[in-house]
Amino acid sequence: MKNLIIPDGYKSSLDLLKTQKAIKMIKDFFQINLSKKLKLTRVSAPLFVEKTSGFNDNLTGKELPVSFVVNQDEKDVELEIIHSLAKWKRNALYCYKIPVEEGIYTDMNAIRANEICDNTHSYYVDQWDWEKVIDEKDRNENYLYSIVREIYKVLLDTEDMLSNEFHGYKKILPDKITFITTDELELRFPNLQPEEREKAFCKEKKAIFVSKIGSNLRNGKPHGVRSPDYDDWSLNGDIIVWNPILDNALELSSMGIRVDSETLVKQLEQSNNLDRLNLDFHKNLIDGKYPQCIGGGIGQSRICMFLLQKAHIGEVQSSIWPKSMVDECVKNGINLL
């Protein structure tokens, strides 16, 4: 099937039970060390939010959230399963009164019903969502890159841990992550599409951070579509690594310095979404209620898949897959959970 890659001669080095044990080792180690590096406190997070709150992530604006109606105080209220917690976390920073240079993280579990399943995409999304309060002076590229390096160091440390735990484990991450903007990618690969540019550069460098995603490039089109009301499009980006098992680029994290009131209005206007200013989250941001912050999501299953060098995300995550995909995986020795 066209959405499934079967690597030649692929065979996982871990059986199902050993894989489950390794998943727990990775998740425990990574989140503990991430929280230390970025000074984050773990908090509880919702599975669903009120539609009128404005907290849900609109992603590219095309995906429809799974929703349901409940009766509260004798009236119907529509709730939405979250796509991510990008905006909810900013409100949480305010509620918890988190000081500057400290933050929060949580386990985010979401349903993305419009997702097209393949080796790295699932209807079920699990990630560490994190958010950190910053000073106004830290709204700059240097600060963004410093946080990216801290996260990448945790990835390297996790890989070292696995190397010590599993005999014969082969490291695949380079010592340093390479930074590049979407404008620079366009200049370097003018005849390629955005995903192809990322793939070509990532294959060369093995680990990259692609920044400034959302605004139009020289060709009049954006590198990628981003929701206009959480990341500042000039101060955001993705951590992408080279997956040698699939011979392809793999995004592990999307993150950025968040919009201030001025940037929010500007980006809502550019994306023709000024109607969102009527939502609670946006009103609070315009009124100066929320702190300046930086945050993002880090894929739990994607990190496990990558570091355990699995061919399919279903080898580290229990979800639902098309029957044709399941049958093809069974035939080729790919053990889905």
| Residues labelled as active-site residues | 57, 112, 127, 238, 251, 254
Three-state secondary structure readout of 193-244? CHHHHHHHHHHHHCEEEEECCCCECCCCCECCCCCCCCEEEEEEEEEEEEEC
Q: Please check whether residue 92 is in contact with residue 43, taking contact to mean a CB–CB distance below 8 angstroms.
A: yes
3-state SS of the chain: helix, strand, coil percent to 5? 35, 25, 40
User: Distance (Å, rounded) from C-alpha 278 to C-alpha 198?
Assistant: 36
Q: Please check whether residue 86 is in contact with residue 57, taking contact to mean a CB–CB distance below 8 angstroms.
A: yes
Q: Please check whether residue 29 is in contact with residue 55, taking contact to mean a CB–CB distance below 8 angstroms.
A: no
Q: Please check whether residue 227 is in contact with residue 207, taking contact to mean a CB–CB distance below 8 angstroms.
A: no
Q: Please check whether residue 324 is in contact with residue 51, taking contact to mean a CB–CB distance below 8 angstroms.
A: no
User: Distance (Å, rounded) from C-alpha 105 to C-alpha 295?
Assistant: 9
Give the residues across from 179 on adjacent strands: 209
Write the CB contacts of 52 (distance below 8 Å, at least 6 apart in sequence): 78, 279, 280
User: Distance (Å, rounded) from C-alpha 260 to C-alpha 289?
Assistant: 11
Torsion of CA 67, 263, 138, 195, to 10 degrees: 60
User: Distance (Å, rounded) from C-alpha 130 to C-alpha 43?
Assistant: 10
User: Distance (Å, rounded) from C-alpha 311 to C-alpha 190?
Assistant: 31
